[in-house]
Structure 1
């Protein structure tokens, strides 16, 4: 029997909040203080938690999300009332869409002022409710530990996401009596029902063109190992969403059709269209809309920790809900033998292998300046080995990298396709480096996305973070431009002025590099990788082949 927990007197509610955060195992918090929340910031001074001031609240939420994705434990962001809270909405919404556990804590006016039009009064709980798994205001000091504890559980269990806790000023400023709650170990699900797993194994044995579609949850470490065993036994071809990058090991690369997302014209899309059975593993429709790859009539199996959200194009015939790794392990035991690929599937996979070889051996022949995206991707592939992590922003470069840069380590690449939020790469990189300072982190953005979070270069310099940020420079919001051009034969609202990014980086105290000829690309990337600490490389990019991304592009047409 557990000993009765004894209440104690705390000088302030903030002290109890910080003690509960310590009990949760929080190592760092990202945020910006203000008058309504500064008592919590003051309590953090006497704690074991590192408080990392950021230059914009949204970026603090992005950093927390990277910590959450890479550790499985919720990252924490802490902000003041009013605009402090509203500024993190994009970061928290992105975390929920991407399946990243984040606990966001915001200050609020004292309870007696909550119904008045006073300084920084705002219904933040209502604002966060649609974009989180849990959004609560603490209305009694007795509930402080309970609400914080539950925010972590909600953020981390099932498909992870964001949660929000509002702390009124009077509750955190006044003395309280209470206690911290112990952290309950993560709930471990069992496998899906045994008979349902056997039924899927029978379907696989009867299928001629089965395909596995991997989603974010498939890339969790324990699930990757179970997936490997399934592929060893079954030889079923695989495609994945962007968020599942790295879930496929090198020995299964020949049956990996690449990643799918945005425009449905990839090898993986071909396999999905001709499949007679699609098995989704750890997939959410937010990663790649079912209408893009399904006609709603294909036999469909859904393997995940949470039930499917059916729509007209995603109607599972069988749902295997439970621990993914355990479910896959049992499924592997009932695989009757390796799949003999149909001629149609073999043709798709062989052509995909050919295109990978073309990129590997011939991309260096693309000598124009500004530089072709494929040459930059090939040069990046050379520097991003298994010990390097990569964070990818949103823009045209995002598609080139998602399609053509490969990885064999789960969650080596953090890449988005949920909210498709600009500006995430640099703050994600800072969070990723804090999780494992022994690894170099490369982040990449366009010049548009970079300027939405570039102020965090100061944060990276202050932390001495070992980060290389690569900017693809073209002086416009190109991903929008190419879609506008296709739809309207003209563009609107996408042009902006040039910036000397080398000088800009140096102004923050980071190392700055500018590629000024095609021949400089590889040597400068190597020099920048050798920098210990933050570095920035600006690379002019020639996006003239971007319209082909919306077509069935074959690399032999370019290289």
Structure 2
């Protein structure tokens, strides 16, 4: 094999099913190696879309998604999606081409220092400069990308290395690195703190979903009666139909989840990253704080835990549950607390989230109950970034982990359509991409990719001819907005030009019918919702 063929054989050994990317002159050996492999190569319309597809695939499956680009502009286009995976903790392996190494010491056409450029947004990244190390580079890229906390890695393959024969063969895929169980003393201390608290509360972060800790969290909540407020990326860790769910940290018209935090006398964060939600907004004051995660807490004045349990998140919760059960069996008081202190807040959140629209014109908020009704518990909603994301995070109930995909680390616009494509290929469930008009047009060309692959997800486009979230913030700060207005094409005609079914409902009844038909169908469908009309 040559080096490119060994790299592709390594992808096969890792169980990779497809690679998303754009072709380039410098990746020719890689492309023809993919042609002759069992790995499907998916040509996309923009490298950012390729990275978002790999990103969401990794987030939903736990297996690193793979994206490919050439050098120069291909790599810079890829960068945003890789950076998004970095702050969203999604396992991803990016592969880029490069010019011959002999040209790297001087200015050269399309040549940038890609390894240095990717260094700030990857867990590990390197150039394959020696054909005899390609198997190690590939194995390390997947190993590092997939262990906690997961994230992107990057391999650069220069053109003059790709075609060189190599004697090495792919290293076998191994069982993932095991996360440590908590020490008994820490589990006992946490159980004791919970048992002594009158108003304990849990904040569930991305890690509670990512590490499959949902069942353990549900058992913990059952044992303690503690309410749970999730971050945007922790939605579904505790099903929102559980009476102890307070939805997200920004839930409710009056910030009820934050009110609950201010009432609590103990806050336990589970799999939380401060990049998800600034702790300074919680107003913790002197409330005791416990950090449960696979790595220590970031050093931050507003997030200074009294106790840190650094171990596997699910194993920690199971150990604490066992300690609580042992306390009950020994005649202790147990850890079950009264729910009177947060039940009123839960009631407000639920009534606000599930209320039907009370206006004739379309709104994102009014559309969410209908969307929730037409989707099954296991169906996946992929949200783009904008004002609609805030409404989805606050008001869309999630009933299972990984069923509401929100980017809130880097929070990059343009993720919804390529992300939904990645989701549609990764899960056996219905998928909906919810996006504003601004984010939609950033990667709308991936409709062609989705159509070519015979995908069957639904794209829900909220059109307001504006970068609405920025307008809202400007109006709040200055009483007016500037620089946010945009124009749009006829989205129905635009989608139909790609061979995509499309509809523009004119009433709430028509919207409900359109969503029911689109989600139930085996077709790729776009539903345009003109806001305020």
| Same topology, TM > 0.5 | yes
* Coarse TM-score class (shorter-chain normalised): over 0.9
1:475 aligns with 2:465: yes
CA contact (8 A) 1:221 1:410 kept: no
Residue 509 to residue 161, structure 1, CA distance change in 2 (3 Å): same
Task: After TM superposition, give the deviation of residue 135 of structure 1 in Å.
Answer: 1.7
> Where does residue 520 of structure 1 map in the other structure?
510
1:306 aligns with 2:303: no
Superposed, 1:365-514 pairs within 5 Å as 366-369=358-361, 371-436=362-427, 438-514=428-504
Deviations 1:397-442 (A, max 9, x none): 1111111111111101111211111110111111111112x42211
Superposed, 1:224-303 pairs within 5 Å as 224-249=214-239, 253-261=242-250, 266-295=255-284, 297-303=286-292
> SS of 2:120's equivalent?
helix
TM-score scaled by length of structure 1: 0.91
Deviations 1:272-293 (A, max 9, x none): 2222211011111111111111
Equivalents in 1 of 2:437, 2:79: separation in Å?
23
Task: After TM superposition, give the deviation of residue 193 of structure 1 in Å.
Answer: 1.0
1:48 aligns with 2:45: no
> SS of 1:420's equivalent?
coil
> Where does residue 347 of structure 2 map in the other structure?
350
TM-score scaled by length of structure 2: 0.95
Deviations 1:48-98 (A, max 9, x none): 000001100001000001110111110000110111111011100101111
> Where does residue 160 of structure 1 map in the other structure?
150
1:171 aligns with 2:161: yes
CA contact (8 A) 2:352 2:395 kept: no
Q: Tell which deviates more after alignment, 275-284 or 518-527.
A: 518-527
Residue 49 to residue 214, structure 1, CA distance change in 2 (3 Å): same
> SS of 1:315's equivalent?
coil
Deviations 1:92-150 (A, max 9, x none): 01011111000001011111111111112101111111111112112211211111111
Q: Tell which deviates more after alignment, 293-302 or 71-80.
A: 293-302
CA contact (8 A) 1:513 1:528 kept: no
> SS of 1:163's equivalent?
strand
> Where does residue 47 of structure 2 map in the other structure?
57
The number of residues matched between the two structures is: 525
Task: After TM superposition, give the deviation of residue 518 of structure 1 in Å.
Answer: 3.6
Task: After TM superposition, give the deviation of residue 341 of structure 1 in Å.
Answer: 2.7
CA contact (8 A) 1:254 1:353 kept: no
CA contact (8 A) 2:100 2:160 kept: yes
Residue 301 to residue 184, structure 1, CA distance change in 2 (3 Å): same
> Where does residue 56 of structure 2 map in the other structure?
66
CA contact (8 A) 2:463 2:530 kept: yes
Greater than 6 Å deviation, 4+ residue runs? none
Q: 1:87 aligns with which of 74, 77, 85?
A: 77
Q: Gapped runs of 5+ residues in structure 2?
A: 328-333
Equivalents in 2 of 1:329, 1:24: separation in Å?
31
CA contact (8 A) 2:240 2:246 kept: no
Deviations 1:453-472 (A, max 9, x none): 10000011001101100001
Equivalents in 2 of 1:250, 1:292: separation in Å?
22
Equivalents in 2 of 1:387, 1:263: separation in Å?
24
Equivalents in 2 of 1:264, 1:80: separation in Å?
47
CA contact (8 A) 1:296 1:314 kept: no
> SS of 1:539's equivalent?
strand
> SS of 2:213's equivalent?
helix
RMSD, aligned CA: 1.8
CA contact (8 A) 1:261 1:288 kept: no
Equivalents in 2 of 1:296, 1:140: separation in Å?
55
Residue 441 to residue 128, structure 1, CA distance change in 2 (3 Å): same
Equivalents in 1 of 2:125, 2:292: separation in Å?
28
> SS of 1:454's equivalent?
coil
Q: 1:116 aligns with which of 98, 103, 106?
A: 106
